[in-house]
Every structure is written in C-alpha cells, then in structure tokens.
Chain A
C-alpha cells in the first residue's frame, strides 16, 4: 500500500503542484481581477494583455508620475495587472502623498474591440475617490 502511495507521489506529486498553481491563479483571476497573462495559469493569449489597460487620473499625467519613481511605477503597474479595490486604494494613497492634493480620483480602463464592425473603445474596470482626510 505504501509502495503504491510512494509511486503515485513520485509520478503525480510535481504535476499536482502545477495544478495547485493553476487553481490559485484562477482564484486570483475571479476574486482579485488578476489578468490571465500572469500567475502561472497558462492563460496567455486568451485575453488582451494588461499592458494595454489605461490608468486615468483627471488633471494628472500618469507618465510624469511614474517618471523616476520606482515605487509609483510598481504600484501603478500592479494596478494595471490586478485592478481591484485594494490595488486602487494603494495607488490612490500613494498618488495623494506624492502630489499633496486634497483629493484624488483614479480610474482604470480596459480596451474593448468588436471584430464585427472594427469599433475600438474603452470600458471602465473600476474607480476610486479618495480624500486626504480619509488617509
């Protein structure tokens, strides 16, 4: 009996790790809005890359925010990869601290395209309003 167990463990142990990784990725995709391109779930080329998502902050240039600021780059990059309430809040807090504004409004948009008529537009994924007094 233990021989059979050892045999199964040797043959299927490592593949089981791969399945656990995939289950975890699907969990993050469905609960935290992780883009399928990442997380070990082999979902590349099944949806548009998160690189094409767009962060919109009224009155502020995102390019100038990330320029020479590794922390900002990482936080906003994380927001594009996994746009959810937590990542939006983290991004908003950092932008508020950096810009010293009273309040901030951040939106994350994704591209949408219709192959039947060629129309390209953007759809809102999520947004946050945060005041300095809320910090």
Chain B
C-alpha cells in the first residue's frame, strides 16, 4: 500500500511527470536521429552536454532542452520534407518547455499543449476528409491486403498471412512489367467483405479522431476526454507501431489529465512506446 501511495505522490505534479517523460523521449529520439548531419551535431551535442553536466544546478537556462531543440532544428533545416510529422510536434513541445522555463506559468504551458494537441488531431481529421482514397475505404483496403496495418496480428493468423504474401508477390510481379501496358491484378482479400470493413473503418477513424479533437478543445481535463484519447492512442498502436508519435500524444495527455488511473495508463503507454522505439521494434 505504501508503494501505491508513493506512486500517487510521484504522479501528483502533471507538468513534472510529463516533462521528465518528454525529456526521456526527446533524448531517445535525438540520439536515434543523431547520425544525420553528424558533423554539425557533434560540436553542438558536445558543448551542450558539457555545459549542462557542469552547470545544471547553477545556470538558470534550460541548457539540455535548448541543445536538443537545436538538434531538432538542424534536422528540420536539412531534411524538412523527410522528417516525420511528429518531429515538428516534438519541436513545438520542446519550444513550449523552453519558454515555460522563463515565464513559469503553468496555465500558459498547458494551453500551449492543449491547442497543439487539438491542432494535430483536427488536422489529421481534415487531411483524411480531403482524401477520396481514404474516405472510400481504398486506402485501408490496400494497406490491409498488403499487411501494412495490423501486421502484428497477422503473424498469428497463418492463412491470412499467406494471402498477404500472395498479394505482395503478385504486386511485385506486376511491378516488373511495363506500366504502360496498363495491366492489372486482382488482390485477394485477407478477410471476407474487406471492402465494406475498410469503408466502415475509415469513417470510424474520422469520427473517433473528430470526437477526440473536439473534447480536447472543449473539456481538456475531463476523464471522458482522456478515456477517448487513450483509446485512440491504443487503437493506433494496434493498427501500426507508430510509437514515437503515440508517445508524444500520451505525454500531452499527461500534461492535461488529472485522473490518477488514466495518468498511470498514459505513463505505461509512453514507457512502452519508448522501449519499442529504442529497440527499433516501433517507429521513432
């Protein structure tokens, strides 16, 4: 029981917990990305880490956050169109933490995180609504028949896995032919009624993301909001191991959530995602 109350005490300060996890996630991410533009990053990393290590208790500036921000910014400058979408979100969150270190106002930081989270989820909804390929179910149909989503589960369904392999082989054979001959192939459905399932799944995705976005904007601290957000994160993780992005969304959840059990669930998600990310089982 004592351990349980200790854990509760540890999780009392949302900003502290979320900031620690963000720093952990940030450290893992920038070290994975460190080999890009390494010659430029070495002096920055060396100087930043040295100053942070020697002066962390005396200097008032958030040296480690600034160092990591500069590393993220270098990636943006050199690989704007290649970095993942959550690289941008991570950069904005780090910027919010750096500013928080100076203004020290909790409500400002939480507003930054809330609006950022809302923007990310609502933009994802609009991007899907604007995509005919997504809304008519063709996208999910293609992804499932190729095993590009729900891949983890297909490993336990040998018959379906065979169909996926057969589809991949057929596509590979087609790709070896001249595309100007306008040949086509018939994909084998990994499940019956996959066309309809894909259509329903596409609309469900949009509806769920829309509900999450609106509740984040409307009631950012409500248990219902965080229940929806955790379910959405877990749902996405089941679809594909987008661990880097999901860790970030869960950290946003920790910033805003006041329910102990939901906070604990977020923390489990973040740490699980980081573990999968650094071991390269999940995407960074």
Chain A residues in the interface with B (C-beta under 8 A): 10-12, 14-15, 17-19, 21-22, 28, 34, 36-49, 54, 56, 58, 78, 81-82, 107, 109, 111-122, 124
> How far is it, in angstroms, between the C-alpha of A46 and the C-alpha of B127 when the chains are bound?
6
Secondary structure dominating the interface of B: helix
Q: List A contacts of B111 (CB < 8 A).
A: 11-12
Q: Which 10 pairs between the two chains have the least Cβ-Cβ distance?
A: A115-B141, A43-B127, A121-B184, A40-B88, A115-B195, A15-B115, A46-B131, A11-B111, A113-B142, A42-B123
Q: List B contacts of A46 (CB < 8 A).
A: 124, 127-128, 130-131, 133-134, 139
Q: Tell me whether A118 and B115 are in contact in the complex, defined as CB-CB below 8 angstroms, given that A18-B92, A38-B85 are known contacts.
A: no
* Most B C-beta atoms less than 10 A away, residue of A45, A49, A116: A45
Q: Which of A12, A28, A42, A116 contacts B120 (CB 8 A)?
A: A42
Min distance, Cβ B32 to any Cβ of chain A, angstroms: 18
Q: Tell me whether A81 and B119 are in contact in the complex, defined as CB-CB below 8 angstroms, given that A115-B136, A122-B179 are known contacts.
A: no
Chain B residues in the interface with A (C-beta under 8 A): 80-85, 87-89, 92, 95-96, 99, 103, 105, 108, 111-112, 115-116, 119-120, 123-124, 127-128, 130-131, 133-134, 136-143, 145, 148, 170-171, 174-175, 178-180, 182-189, 194-195, 198-199, 240, 242
A124's closest neighbor in chain B, by CB?
Answer: B179
B85→A111 contact, CB < 8 A: no
B119→A22 contact, CB < 8 A: yes
Q: Tell me whether A115 and B138 are in contact in the complex, defined as CB-CB below 8 angstroms, given that A39-B81, A122-B179 are known contacts.
A: yes
Min distance, Cβ A104 to any Cβ of chain B, angstroms: 16
Q: List B contacts of A124 (CB < 8 A).
A: 179
Q: Which of A28, A81, A119, A120 contacts B171 (CB 8 A)?
A: A120
> How far is it, in angstroms, between the C-alpha of A35 and the C-alpha of B90 when the chains are bound?
21
Q: Tell me whether A11 and B178 are in contact in the complex, defined as CB-CB below 8 angstroms, given that A18-B92, A40-B88, A47-B139 are known contacts.
A: no
Q: List B contacts of A117 (CB < 8 A).
A: 186
Min distance, Cβ B127 to any Cβ of chain A, angstroms: 4
B134→A17 contact, CB < 8 A: no
Min distance, Cβ A57 to any Cβ of chain B, angstroms: 11
* Most A C-beta atoms less than 10 A away, residue of B84, B105, B139: B139
B185→A120 contact, CB < 8 A: yes
A42→B85 contact, CB < 8 A: yes
A41→B194 contact, CB < 8 A: no
> How far is it, in angstroms, between the C-alpha of A15 and the C-alpha of B252 when the chains are bound?
14
Q: List A contacts of B87 (CB < 8 A).
A: 40
> How far is it, in angstroms, between the C-alpha of A119 and the C-alpha of B188 when the chains are bound?
10
A82→B81 contact, CB < 8 A: yes
B89→A18 contact, CB < 8 A: yes
B179→A107 contact, CB < 8 A: yes
B119→A36 contact, CB < 8 A: no
> How far is it, in angstroms, between the C-alpha of A96 and the C-alpha of B199 when the chains are bound?
44
A121→B133 contact, CB < 8 A: no
A12→B115 contact, CB < 8 A: yes
Q: Which of B83, B99, B240 contacts A10 (CB 8 A)?
A: B99
- Interface CB pairs A-B, < 8 A, 12: A10-B108, A12-B111, A15-B115, A17-B95, A18-B120, A36-B127, A42-B124, A43-B124, A45-B240, A47-B134, A117-B186, A122-B174
Q: List A contacts of B240 (CB < 8 A).
A: 45
Min distance, Cβ B264 to any Cβ of chain A, angstroms: 27
Q: List B contacts of A14 (CB < 8 A).
A: 92, 95-96, 99, 112, 116
Q: Tell me whether A56 and B179 are in contact in the complex, defined as CB-CB below 8 angstroms, given that A21-B88, A119-B184 are known contacts.
A: yes
Q: List A contacts of B186 (CB < 8 A).
A: 117-120
